[in-house]
Structure 1
Amino acid sequence: MSVISEQSLRGESLFTDLSADSEHWRPDEIDSLCMNCHRDGTTRLLLTRIPFFREVIVSSFSCPHCGWADTEIQSAGRIQDQGVCYTLRVRTKDDLNREVVKSDSATTRIPELDLEIPAFTQKGALSTIEGLLDRTVTGLEQDQPVRRALDPETADKINQFIQKLKKLKDVEEEFTLVIEDPSGNSFVENPVAPQKDEALTVTRFKRTTEQDVQLGLRAEDDSVEEPAAPDIEAMRNEVLTFKVNCPECNAPASTNMKLVQIPHFKEVIIMATNCDGCGYRTNEVKSGGATEEQGTKITLHVTNPSDMTRDVLKSETCSVLIPELDFELGMAAISGKFTTVEGLLTDIKDLTVSRNPFCLGDSSNTERVEKIKAFGQKMDRIMAGEMDVHLVLDDPAGNSYLQNVYAPEPDPEMTVETYTRSFEQNEDLGLNDMKTEGYQEDK
């Protein structure tokens, strides 16, 4: 049986990147009681890290006596700051092959069939759209023999519903699959990455009190207390430090927070986390002010390598577009950052190329890998000043910024547009009472 080393417990991460190339990668084996025949079986635990899904524990049980087997996937990473909802319009049979990470806290819906699978009624799974349908059919068929004996009428109705589910796999008509996960730890593949997926909509949302209780973030009898008013002047003049657990290895770490004034813009809160145990480093930026009355769309024409040094504040509500590459990065795909144009492009390249989960191990295919590599090469050319492109920051909250190197004079390579948010954008920002209209340019 594999043993967890003392070194791992003292700071080194227990989770290994998901890969088929490691020769020394073995699961831990534990003797376990079989719940079918009540004799000894074996549980194998694999602690691994899937990009975009963070750490997971894959467990597999098998019993040599009765042959019973079971598999399960559980998230071992932290619960994200926001929930996530994936809405996929299934149009062709190819869509059924999309890979899906579904945590046990996710709710699955197919509106056309009025089907809803509530959270915590299925175990977490790494599967495909077709696999999710098959799993649902299997669950419904499991108790059909008993139903036919006790309640034939109900059994017939369920059988008719099962046939409708099976017919979805023929994709004779389009249908919608919705996966809503308040933990933020589910994922649906974009097969045309790094381009925008027209069939897939990803939205992030703030959890309700009930969802926090479900996830164990708050006790049912907890009362919500009004936070004390912060001392703004003290925050401007000092760096605040508070203790946290490292999101990578869970060792004690510290987060530093500072209120910073960006010239010609506004105040922002910069937060940096450092872990001495595993070396994890991260920084994140939060807007120090409220949501603006209008959204902001900033377009930079990248014409010179010196553009890479421009300062950028990308809020967590900001989308990034590069029209020449037909590329769009949705809001919250990268957390809020105060960096440079080169730093932002480097983060985008790392997210779409280096850490793309479907270009690693057994999930990869030659066509997809070559497409992603070609995108990475184009990003390198942009950062070297060898490609003429436009970088667009579209922030419906109006809290993003791109440095004007000619300030206070107008920048000939940059335009700033303000616009009234759409109803959908107001929903994403929790501002449903605001009106919708078109763009108003302010160069």
Structure 2
Amino acid sequence: MFTIIFLEFIRSGTIKSFSTCRNGRWASHGAARHKKEAVNTLYTTGIKLRWVLCKSVNRGILQTQSKRRGYYGCDRSSESAKQIFCTGSGYIYFNRKRFRCICPVFGFTKRLILVTHIQHQQLDFKKWDALILRTPDADPFLLSSWLNVAAPGWSALVANDYEAVFPVFSAKKMLWSFFDLPNFIQKIGIYGAEGFEKEFASQLHALHTSIDFICYVTDSVLGDTHIENRPRRHQLLQLKEGVRFPTKVWGRNIRKAEAAALTEITAVPADIFVQALKHELIERGRPYAEKDYQKLLRLAKESSAAGYGFIEGIKDETGTFTCGQFYLYITGKIYLVACFSNEKAREHSLLHYLLYKIIQQKYEQDTTMRVHFGGSNIPVIADFNKNFGATDEEFVLVYKNNLPFLLRLVKHA
């Protein structure tokens, strides 16, 4: 059980209004013409609080009173706190930058962090994208323009003022709730500043308890010990020593492509790429649903128009595309979304050659680049990725299935 208190301030320094939420019920409180001073340091006796109420503003100090004994007093600062969050454990978090909670009795300090589940309509996409672009391990498929197509209505856990984020893909269908990783999004994790793992893990655990079906890949540090965690691996290539693919397979395949004189790389139109991929997947018996091909086509067109998506391929002597690869690239990171190849491309190892040349070209422009192959637990795909020197990176599949028996037959990991 917890209460959230929202405070709104106007520029003159008076409290405009505040609202409280207890057990999902909101109550709004009118304007209070009191001077405010924003929050910097909180003083507490260390008593665990079940919930807090806004008490008064006294001499520029905002105070909150617990239903039990003891209260929190808020000292003066130039920063303004718009949200106060008190959990059942007695910790208080703020939506501003990191504050300290000081206990004069026991003499300890605790960093104050607010992790909020923000719904899609309230997300600040500019702040989101700025964070993704500057975070080294954040892949291009986490940009808001990609997520808006791949997972309409997505939400996020946000620490403070977008210091760190974790994307959430939850939805309600009929009587059941789902948190399922959408197609074309490989994995999710905490992106941004470090040191928020415990707070995000706690919020995720609380979120998991209310969801019937959960299936997403994340970092092992965020695995929920209360539900099933299955090992997963992706392949990543760190180009610390330049474009050097130190395997015999690589050299042999490059020479095969060069011997066949099939080395001219050209852009592939998005509709041709999706149609060729669809044809190959149907042949292999692993097709997407029709709506997913349409989604992939839209993703390809919109990411290309935005400047971070591109599709390259190799034609044969008749002008037919033998293979194609769809990439996302932002500074420091390149991600292989999908690829197709026909019999001639497989005969002459053109996918190997194409990937090598694309990475080589990008590396000349960006020596900090790392390559995310998407990865797989299927040995033949993992081996293909490792031919280029990629190594495994371990993750976990967080899984829970409390759906009715008949639904579990068709909806599973």
**TM-score interval for Structure 1 and Structure 2 normalised by the shorter chain:** under 0.3
TM-score (norm 2): 0.25
